[in-house]
């Protein structure tokens, strides 16, 4: 197989393409590429497919994707790179379907794999489990069974090559003790940031140095979220529904977007919410409080994928998502993310971060992901930070006693003793913050405790400046 060079490819994509051709030439059936979210895995795989098609090594390309949004993105990229249809119809160079769709097209796909020379590309392969313990995930079993019907070349791709349930990934080999995933090419986030292929992210973790929690007749005082959670007096889910903490994180995210827009006016924000009701109320809060436009996309919407595509090229300020914008969704103008999901796996956390890493127009575009300083999220952030160039590892603890400007004239009609357990109404010279909608979110929390986060004791930890 000849080594193809494509001047439009990034350096890592060219190197990976050459390595893949060499591996296939040696008779190895599968090539595993791990590349940071936003680095350009889809364009690399399309270029590899084009090289194999041009050299008459394959007849057809079959791609699998974890979701419809990723499926649409793959189809568009492959059509552009191959300069041909990629819809599976007569004369097309290939087809892309979701992993879920394999079960409905299994016989037809098996026939094609058995009778033609096929390149199978499995995007975000970590969605497919392998082994006897993965009965609950049928995608991996179907994929392995399908490939066994012939002798296709396979390309597996992932930006987060592990599974939250600790099972092995389908089609992959492992070695060593403990067993470690074998990869053919790795292009990490540190490499991508250093090469200016991806944005350099700021991971901003919001904490509070004065937390009062009243449970039953006892009052407990804590100097950090970690301390309160470790003492089992505060749950992470309660942070996501507490009126004061929730509003503070949203206000902080809004100000971060305004800061970035001073130099990058097209920047937009993403809120990853924990429930459909929360997403809708946060969207309305953004509109009524900040005077900015927002749209909600959720798994219960029939037109969710169309709304995501429309947002990509729109001037809407914020997209609020529940279960939709996590991986593979290409919205380069997203530069701020407020992480309010109740999912606390490193896999999901990194996938969400990937939504703001893709460069839009300039290599110096900043991006920020804002979350609460919950212990596991802090640990994930530090691991991500370790995957960045050493010169980016700047860690600062900022005691910001006036993150929100609160005039001294604001008082409460409540009894002063009760006031320490009230969520404060906060105003600034720019906006009046009304917490009515967020109060509805707080009512969703099934907890008997009362919490107060001192408005003058918020602090941030910023990694990867």
pLDDT, residue 327, reads 61
The tens digit of pLDDT for each residue in 250-263 reads 999 999 999 999 99
pLDDT, residue 125, reads 93
Q: Please identify every stretch of the chain with a pLDDT value under 50, giving residue numbers as ranges.
A: 2-6, 389-447, 464-465
pLDDT, residue 271, reads 95
| φ and ψ of 342, to 5 deg | -85, 0
Cα–Cα dist 404/422, whole Å: 17
Q: Which domains does the chain have, with CATH numbers?
A: 11-187 (3.40.50.300), 193-463 (3.40.50.300)
Q: Which tokens go with 267?
A: 């920047």
pLDDT, residue 301, reads 74
pLDDT, residue 132, reads 53
pLDDT, residue 412, reads 27
pLDDT, residue 462, reads 63
């Amino acid at each position: 197989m000849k080594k193809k060079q494509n001047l439009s490819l990034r350096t890592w994509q060219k190197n990976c393409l050459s390595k893949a051709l060499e591996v296939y030439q040696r008779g190895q059936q599968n090539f595993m590429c791990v590349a940071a979210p936003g680095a350009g895995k889809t364009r690399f795989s399309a270029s590899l497919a084009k090289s194999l098609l041009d050299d008459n090594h394959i007849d057809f390309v079959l791609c699998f994707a974890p979701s419809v949004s990723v499926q649409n993105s793959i189809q568009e990229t492959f059509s552009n790179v191959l300069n041909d249809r990629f819809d599976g119809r007569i004369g097309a160079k290939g087809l892309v379907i979701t992993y879920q769709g394999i079960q409905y097209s299994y016989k037809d796909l098996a026939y094609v794999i058995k009778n033609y020379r096929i390149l199978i590309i499995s995007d975000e392969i970590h969605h497919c489990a392998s082994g006897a313990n993965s009965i609950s995930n049928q995608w991996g079993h179907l994929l392995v069974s399908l490939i066994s019907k012939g002798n296709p070349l396979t390309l597996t791709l992932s930006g987060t090559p592990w599974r939250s349930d600790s099972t092995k990934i389908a089609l992959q080999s492992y070695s060593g003790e403990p067993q470690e995933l074998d990869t053919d090419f790795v292009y990490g986030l540190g490499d991508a940031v250093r090469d200016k292929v991806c944005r350099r992210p700021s991971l901003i973790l919001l904490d509070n140095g004065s937390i009062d929690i009243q449970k039953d007749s006892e009052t407990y005082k804590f100097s950090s979220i970690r301390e309160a959670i470790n003492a089992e007096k505060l749950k992470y889910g309660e942070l996501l529904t507490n009126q004061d903490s929730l509003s503070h994180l949203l206000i902080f995210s809004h100000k971060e977007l305004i800061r970035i827009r001073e130099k990058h006016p097209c920047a937009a924000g993403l809120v990853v919410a924990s429930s459909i009701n929360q997403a809708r109320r946060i969207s309305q809060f953004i509109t009524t409080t900040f005077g900015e436009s927002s749209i909600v996309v959720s798994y219960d919407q029939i037109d969710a994928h169309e709304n995501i595509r429309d947002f990509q090229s729109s001037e809407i300020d914020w997209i609020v998502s529940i279960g939709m914008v996590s991986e593979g969704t290409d919205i380069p103008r997203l530069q701020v993310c407020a992480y309010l999901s109740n999912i606390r796996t490193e896999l999901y956390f990194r996938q969400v971060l990937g939504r703001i890493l893709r460069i839009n127009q300039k290599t110096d575009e900043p991006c920020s992901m804002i979350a609460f300083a919950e212990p596991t999220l802090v640990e994930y952030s530090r691991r991500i930070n370790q995957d960045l160039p050493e010169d980016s590892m700047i860690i600062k603890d900022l005691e910001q006693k006036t993150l929100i400007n609160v005039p001294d004239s604001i008082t409460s009609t409540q009894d002063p003793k009760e006031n320490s357990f009230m969520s404060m109404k906060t105003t600034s010279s720019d906006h009046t913050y009304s917490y009515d909608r967020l109060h509805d979110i707080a009512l969703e929390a099934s907890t008997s405790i009362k919490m107060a986060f001192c408005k003058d004791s918020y602090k941030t930890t910023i990694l990867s400046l």
